[in-house]
């Protein structure tokens, strides 16, 4: 009973750690705790508490995951959550040594998502029927998704108050509520402006949703599933054989920038990867240099500049 009470207190503090110090969402926290529960079930059968665990115990637990048929990628995710938990125990003084230090993850191989070519992206956008109420919204949505390299959740949560179009930036809130500034191309700005002409008339935002950029026909926030279905339907219309999703646009954005010669650190900043913290980004990289780097190398911007450049006299 005493061990159970101690375990509950530890898990309560760990939840607070994930929420307050890591800034994780409720869904992410639940996923971490679900993975930890698998370890606790194992420990119960061994008669161990979390603070008594050694590397040998964790290796036995990891082998058990494999034996019951859990895929390597899922095994790696579970072990990642367990490393986070023991890192917390070490920080909070529950243990003196981290048993996960030498724990190996399964080899999951390298899986690269599909990459769209510029012609394929143009074909998808061209397939959008602009005579429909959703046409300009969908065009703006996919252009922003690609040109800014956003996660689909970031796209859905984008707010009018986060747009600084005159300065050529948008503010994005990513994982862990971390904010970053992302340069936005002239092409994406133009598509947004076309959408804004009839946004309030066609979509009539409901109270509380006025600040969201992309709305449903009911005037509420657009969801990830809807974006996924829009992209799938466009791919079907142009007979695209690749298996794509909203993330395909983000991966294509990064790949095209890298192929165009953009600085890798600038790409990491744009994507909001956890390896580069938001505050650190802007103490080392001038935001105007970042914008110039992106606009110089992004193929969408290069094409736009060529199409709208004045002919030489």
Is 282 marked active-site?
A: yes
Catalytic residue among 38, 175, 190, 224: 175
Query: If you ran DSSP here, which 8-state letter would residue 112 be given?
Result: P
Catalytic annotation on 250? yes
Is 273 among the residues known to form the active site? yes
Q: Phi then psi for 37, rounded to 5 degrees?
A: -60, -30
Chain CA centroid to CA 216, Å:
22
Alpha helices per DSSP H over 127-245: 135-147, 152-157, 186-196, 199-203, 224-237
- Residue in 57, 206, 247, 265 annotated catalytic: 247
Residue that the structure tokens 């996660």 belong to: 151
Query: Hunting for tokens 């917390």 — which residue is that?
Result: 88
The CA-CA-CA angle for residues 89, 79, 249, to 5°, reads 115
Check if the beta carbon of residue 228 is closer than 8 Å to that of residue 245. yes
Residue closest to 293 by CA, chosen among 256, 269, 270, 262: 262
* Per annotation, catalytic residue among 38, 273, 287, 303: 273
Task: Please identify which of the residues 137, 139, 151, 297 carries the catalytic annotation.
Answer: 151
Question: How would you list the strands of the sheet with 169-173, edge to edge?
Answer: 163-164, 169-173, 179-183
Catalytic hit among 136, 137, 139, 250: 250
**Element holding 9 (H helix, E strand):** helix 2-16
Catalytic hit among 83, 159, 190, 282: 282
Looking only at Cα atoms, what is the longest distance across the chain? 87
The residues assigned a catalytic role are 151, 175, 247, 250, 273, 282
């Amino acid at each position: 009973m005493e061990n159970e009470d101690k375990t509950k207190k530890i898990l309560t503090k760990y939840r607070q750690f994930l929420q307050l110090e890591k800034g994780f969402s409720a869904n992410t926290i639940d996923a971490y705790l679900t993975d930890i529960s698998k370890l606790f079930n194992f420990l119960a059968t061994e008669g161990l508490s979390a603070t008594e665990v050694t590397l040998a115990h964790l290796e036995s637990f990891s082998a058990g995951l494999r034996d019951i048929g859990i895929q390597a990628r899922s095994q790696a995710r579970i072990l990642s959550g367990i490393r986070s938990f023991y890192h917390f125990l070490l920080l909070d003084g529950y243990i003196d040594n981290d048993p996960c230090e030498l724990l190996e993850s399964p080899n999951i191989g390298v899986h690269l998502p599909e990459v769209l070519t510029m012609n394929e992206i143009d074909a998808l956008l061209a397939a959008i029927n602009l005579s429909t109420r959703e046409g300009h919204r969908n065009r703006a949505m996919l252009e922003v998704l690609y040109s800014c390299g956003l996660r689909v959740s970031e796209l859905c949560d984008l707010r009018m108050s986060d747009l600084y179009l005159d300065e050529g930036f948008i503010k994005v809130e990513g994982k862990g509520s971390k904010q970053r500034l992302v340069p936005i191309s002239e092409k994406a700005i133009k598509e947004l402006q076309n959408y804004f002409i009839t946004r309030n008339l066609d979509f009539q935002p409901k109270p509380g949703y006025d600040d969201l950029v992309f709305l449903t026909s009911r005037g509420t926030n657009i969801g990830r599933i809807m974006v996924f279905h829009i992209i799938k339907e466009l791919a079907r219309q142009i007979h695209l054989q690749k298996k794509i999703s909203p993330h395909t646009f983000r991966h294509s954005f990064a790949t095209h920038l890298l192929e165009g010669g953009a600085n890798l650190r600038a790409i990491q900043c744009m994507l909001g990867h956890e390896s580069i913290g938001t505050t650190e980004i802007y103490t080392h990289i001038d935001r105007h240099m970042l914008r110039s780097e992106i606009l110089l190398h992004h193929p969408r911007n290069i094409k736009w500049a060529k199409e709208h450049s004045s002919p030489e006299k």
